[in-house]
Amino acid sequence: MKRLTSTKWLAWLAAPSAVTAGAALLLGLGVAAPPPAAAQSAAGVPVAGVPAAVVEDVKGKVSGLEFMDYVEAGRVIKLGTKDMVVLGYLKSCWRETITGGTVVVGAESSLVHLGTIDRVKVACDPAATLGSRQATESAATVFRGMAPGQAPGAEGPQPPVLYGLSPVFEVKEPDTLVIERTDKVGERRAIALRGKTLVRGRFYDLAKSDTALAAGGTYVASLGGRKVAFRIAPDARAGATPAIGRLVRFD
């Protein structure tokens, strides 16, 4: 496990860098900002609007930020002295715990001024084969549902790998969630999702019900006519592991 810590000031940002808003802030702080081209994809297409990280935890009075919010590159987050936010980066698998200061969200990591940051590389699947839209947006491990009746084939997109035994499912609305193992007969779960069982009305976390899937198993989850295939890593861990390593998104 890789870990990086700093106090007062840490300027670590994997390319591509934060977009215009973040760059402007850095210039105001007297810090050299990366060139504007860094805010574009390799094809020259701007990546603004693409989620860069998910908020895995937030403490204190942080304006406009809640648990499991998605944040884009260039977003500026201002934290009070005792405020804390945990960001899980979808592409780089960095998980950052930031306390105090001003945070500029990057494409793969954050810039922090006058705060402290603890950055840890966690297990997630940034190289998973997603759909063309997903690959373009670089939203690794946050994958969208397949069309009804579609199943991953040997020559088609392969199921992403989750590194937690208890996936977190993001849904649009309450429905019946069916989880069925495809590499072994007999394992099937049907869960009636209700408002009170959903975090923020759209996230269902199997860890909260002490439900774990089988390490090494391949599954298909169905919800309202949509299907998502995924695999559980052989070394996946139990419990509330980092969200970026076990997030399944229906939309």
- The separation between CA 79 and the C-alpha centre of its own chain, rounded to angstroms, equals 21
Q: What are 100's two structure tokens? A: 């105090």
CA distances, 91 to each of 9, 16, 94, 117, 244 (Å): 23, 11, 8, 19, 9
Q: What are 223's two structure tokens? A: 């919800």
Whether a cis peptide bond, with omega within 30° of 0, leads into 35 is no
Domain assignment of residue 126, yes or no:
no
Domain boundary at 121, 146, 178, which? 121
Q: Residues 85, 192: one domain?
A: no
Domain assignment of residue 127, yes or no:
no
Domain assignment of residue 202, yes or no:
yes
Q: Residues 101, 146: one domain?
A: no
Please list the pLDDT of the chain residue by residue as tens digits (251 residues). Answer: 445 444 434 444 333 343 444 444 554 544 433 333 333 344 334 355 688 999 999 999 998 999 999 999 999 999 999 999 999 999 999 999 999 999 999 999 999 999 999 999 999 987 433 432 343 333 333 344 444 444 445 555 678 899 999 999 988 888 899 999 999 988 999 999 987 888 888 899 999 999 999 999 999 999 988 888 999 999 999 999 999 999 988 86
Q: What are 186's two structure tokens? A: 């007999």
Predicted model pTM: 0.72
Radius of gyration, CA atoms only, the chain: 19
Q: Residues 102, 177: one domain?
A: no
Provide φ and ψ at 188, rounded to 5°. -150, 135
Domain assignment of residue 213, yes or no:
yes
Domain boundary at 121, 145, 171, which? 121
Q: Residues 170, 237: one domain?
A: yes
Q: Residues 201, 234: one domain?
A: yes
Please count the structural domains in the chain: 2
Domain boundary at 96, 121, 146, which? 121
Which structural domain range is residue 14 located in?
3-121
Domain assignment of residue 12, yes or no:
yes
Q: Where are the alpha helices (DSSP H) in 3-149?
A: 20-28, 132-137
